[in-house]
Structure 1
Amino acid sequence: MVKQSGQARLPSRPAGVPADERHETANLLHSAAVRLLRVARTQDAGMDLDGPRASLLSVVVFAGPQPITRLAAIEQVSPPAITKLVAALEADGLAVRERSATDRRVVLVTATAAGKRLLERGRAARVRAVADVLAGASARDLATLRRAAQIIAARL
């Protein structure tokens, strides 16, 4: 992170984006979020999963059992690509495919107990990495960041 006068230097607003407070804030949040996720992602090596498999496992752990087509849409990949990722998670014992109890034509992907434990360990490591970034922040700044996170989460 490049610092200038004690402040993190973030990219200026991209061309073609309106010069209003909402877009300026969006630009700053986007840049900070990308950098923060890079820091957090450094901890993923401990899970021994590549990014696509870790992302898919996160979806089935936190969103619950999902059909292949829904997973492909969430992860923004093709059904054949998601099928390969599911097969890799299955081979590692982290997920299973099961028929839906309500519609036997639908196959749901579910995280195994081992998959849930692995993801929770990975998430804990990411949270610790983000907490390290926040070391030294004032109570007021931490409260502001918590409120900002709540506002963003409510809008997603």
Structure 2
Amino acid sequence: MSYPDRKDPVANLRSDAGLASALRVSLARLTRRLRRQAAGNSLTPTQVATLAAVDRHPGMTPGELAEHEKVQPPSMTRVIAVLEERGLLSRTPHPTDRRQVSLTVTEAGSALLKEERRRRDAWLAQRLKELTPEEKAVLRQAAPILEKLSRI
């Protein structure tokens, strides 16, 4: 397999491999910077992602959540325990299967997520102010495409 020429970024973007590499690096860097904006909450990225997933899909079982987040059930059990211990997540009996529990985000968990999103959005909005109108237009077109890539 040949790798794109790292010395010519424009040539890199002409091939799928070059575009993939550029996107991977840029998105990873942006993700790291966004995570730093939430450093005050003392949760790990996995814990935040788990809390956000339950917020979007209330009533999930731990097994469904592990599958959704692409982690092993024992790992998810540990994450759930920490979030529950911190009062951010609660377990309730499953409505149809007594062997299962359903997960929901507590008021404290919702407040934490709201603040986390506010801080990240504020940081990103500030960065967007530094862009030209043309660059913002390109990002508006790219946003649905990036969302599609995240779901494939």
TM range (shorter): 0.7 to 0.9
Alignment check: 8 A CA contact 1:36 1:130 kept: no
**Deviation, structure 1 residue 61:** 1.1
Alignment check: 8 A CA contact 1:65 1:109 kept: yes
**Deviation, structure 1 residue 26:** 1.9
The residue identity in structure 2 corresponding to 1:145 is L
**Deviation, structure 1 residue 34:** 0.4
1:81-120 paired onto structure 2 within 5 Å? 81-120=75-114
The structure carrying a bigger helix percent of its residues is: 2
The residue identity in structure 2 corresponding to 1:41 is R
Stretches of structure 1 that go unaligned for 5 or more consecutive residues are: 1-10, 13-18
2:17 pairs with 1:23: yes
Q: After superposing the two structures, state which structure 1 stretch, 134-143 or 19-28, moved more.
A: 19-28
- Equivalent position to 1:51, from 28, 45, 53: 45
Stretches of structure 2 that go unaligned for 5 or more consecutive residues are: 7-12
Distance 1:143 1:123 in 2: 23
The residue identity in structure 2 corresponding to 1:106 is Q
The residue identity in structure 1 corresponding to 2:63 is T
1:6-155 paired onto structure 2 within 5 Å? 12=6, 21-155=15-149
Question: Does the residue aligned with 1:126 lie in a helix, a strand or coil?
Answer: helix
Distance 1:72 1:52 in 2: 11
Which is bigger in relative contact order (C-alpha 8 A, separation at least 6)?
1
Distance 1:27 1:128 in 2: 28
Question: Does the residue aligned with 2:38 lie in a helix, a strand or coil?
Answer: helix
**Deviation, structure 1 residue 37:** 0.6
Distance 2:74 2:23 in 1: 34
TM-score (ref. length: structure 1): 0.79
Distance 1:20 1:43 in 2: 33
- Alpha-carbon deviations, 1:58-115, whole Å to 9, x = none? 1111233311112222333321221111111111111111222243333221111221
Question: Does the residue aligned with 1:98 lie in a helix, a strand or coil?
Answer: strand
